[in-house]
Chains A and B, each alone.
Chain A
Amino acid sequence: MEAVAEWGRALYETTGINLTILYDAFDQKRFISGLGMTIYLSVVSLFFSLVIGVIGAWAQGSDFKLVRWLINGFIVIFRNTPPLVQIFFFYFGLSNLLPYIEDADGMRAPLFTNVQWAIISLSLFAGAFNIEIFRSGIEAVPNSTKEAASALGYTRLGTYLYIVLPLAIRVCLPALNNNLVNLLKTTSLAYAIAVPELLYASKQIWTDAQNVPTMMVVLLFTYVALVGVLVWAMNAWERSMAIPGYGAGRAR
């Protein structure tokens, strides 16, 4: 650790490239906590968006017309409005309409904090896409497969759990990957409501240390690395789950 700091200082003195995150403990802490917040935001909203996707896809197959209609409306609205406006709408608009609570110090505090609002709006945004993705996956499983399962004595739930879902997940995996990568990139929008994530932390650092170009490049490469890790992991998963003989799976 000390060697890295020394190297950072030497780099600044010899070349003028000021990487404060290497030798300044305060900046380093800010950057790492920003990175942690970005990962936290992505993982939590990824989880909730998947839950929304599964529940929504299930509800879309319901017999009630109203439920189907509501789900479709939700998808259409969230897919066709800017995510930033959604975040503002939730954080500024809805937050003010909801009742206030008292926090530990007896002060008036909003029901949800900005981090929670960011998670809510990001999950809803990504979830709207996930519903469509899951639905297309479930629809891709042909009826004859389900009939064969019931002929073999599977119950309805058993068919869904052991036959439909495993096939559907494999079919919709590429689209799902795309959406999850998008979600990770969209977390940077939480900057707008002052969630201390990577972009926000970097902005603070480059404002304090006056090293805008250097920090900007570091920031870009950090995001590319984060997305790269996710893409790599998802691709490996996709390959291991590929159905033999379909698409690019195993056959090539």
Chain B
Amino acid sequence: MSENSEAPFRPMAVLLEPRPRPIGLPDVGLPKLTMTHCYWLAVAALLVAGVAHAQAPAAPAQEALSAAPATPLSVIIKWLPFLLKGFVFNIVISLMAMALGTVSGVLLGLGQISQNALIRRTSWFVTQFFRNSPWLVLLFFAMFMIPFEFHVFGLRIPLPDWFKAIIGFALPVMANVAELLRGAIRSLPSGQWEAAESLAFSRTKTIWGIILPQCVKRMLPPWMNLYSLITMATVLASIVGVGEMLTLTAQVHAAEGGRPELFAPLYGFAMVCFFLYCYPISKLTQRLERRFNVKT
């Protein structure tokens, strides 16, 4: 029966049908204008506008005062370097919190698979505790509970606000990374552990040489997701008085006379900044997820 062999592939009657993977397809024809291109165009436009603004001679302030109230666009352009400086500060906070949180989170995650029951229980509790509390509350916790300076051997080590904020953001990151790691370790086939044991690897060597390297690939997409979340959470620091973008936005608004109609464009601009930073991360995460979608 030749018809049977040539019949098109029908998915079997299971709930989750195999997802088609468009990755290996060869690209034919002219590239289409996609969201990615629009994004890079927008970034380029912003960059050009920023450089042009920086190069342009400063407009005389008297003229601005005598003229009619500035339009929202001109206000944003005028304060662009100031606001972007705040945004860069946000990114610095997010990067440092992520670094601190990842290192401590990996340790905490390893504690969760420890052979010592006490360590295992404690790490589990710490993870659940910090995972289940709101980020803003943890930020308050870090801001108020950590002293503003330390005295070590007569040496005064000041802890500025932004550093405490980094610790406050690192706490939830730590708990989430620990949970990601635990999930990744659990998703590995147990044959990996057994094979390592039969090859006379010690437990430490198995974890560092065999288990963790395999976890990296599995953890990367959700880890990037977490990074995008923490970047968006850094604006919370404005509530506890760290001078990041949202604080500066409020200051700009006050400096421009506190006109209510300026609120929407100014906060809208903050949204645009974060969108331009986080959207490519989430796109990349999706692509990696599809790429790494390994079926065991």
Residue positions of A touching B, CB distance < 8 A: 76-77, 79-86, 88-89, 92-94, 96-97, 140-145, 148, 167, 171, 181, 185-189, 191-192, 199, 203, 212-213, 216, 219-220, 223-224, 227-228, 231, 243, 246
Contact = CB atoms under 8 A, between A and B. Distances in A.
Nearest to B266: A93
A93 B263 contact: yes
A140 B15 contact: yes
B236 A189 contact: yes
A93 B133 contact: no
Given A80-B278, A220-B137, A89 B13 contact: no
Contact of A81 (B15, B239, B264, B275): B275
The interface size bin for chain B is 35 or more
Contact of B264 (A89, A181, A191, A192): A89
B148 interface: no
Q: Do most interface residues of chain B lie in helix, strand or loop, or is the interface mixed? A: helix
Contacts of B132: 181, 185, 223-224, 227-228, 231
B124 interface: no
Interface stretch (B78-86, B109-117, B227-235): B227-235
Contacts of A246: 15-16
Contact of B267 (A80, A85, A143, A145): A85
Interface of B: 10-17, 128-129, 132-138, 140-141, 144-145, 228, 232-236, 238-239, 246, 260-261, 263-268, 270-271, 274-275, 278-279, 282
Given A80-B278, A185-B135, A220-B141, A85 B263 contact: no
Contact of B261 (A96, A216, A220): A96
Contact of A216 (B140, B263, B264, B274): B140
A81 B271 contact: yes
A245 B232 CA distance: 38
- Chain A CB within 10 Å, residue with most, of B16, B128, B137, B239: B137
B108 to A, nearest CB: 17
Contacts of B145: 212-213, 216
19 contacts: A80-B228, A80-B279, A81-B278, A82-B233, A82-B235, A82-B270, A85-B271, A88-B246, A89-B263, A89-B268, A142-B13, A144-B11, A144-B12, A185-B134, A189-B236, A203-B140, A220-B133, A223-B134, A246-B16
Nearest to A192: B239
A251 B102 CA distance: 34
9 tightest Cβ-Cβ pairs between the two chains A and B: A93-B264, A82-B232, A96-B260, A92-B263, A227-B132, A185-B134, A188-B134, A89-B267, A80-B278
A86 B263 CA distance: 12
A69 to B, nearest CB: 11
B274 A243 contact: no
Contact of B14 (A83, A97, A142, A231): A142
A240 to B, nearest CB: 18
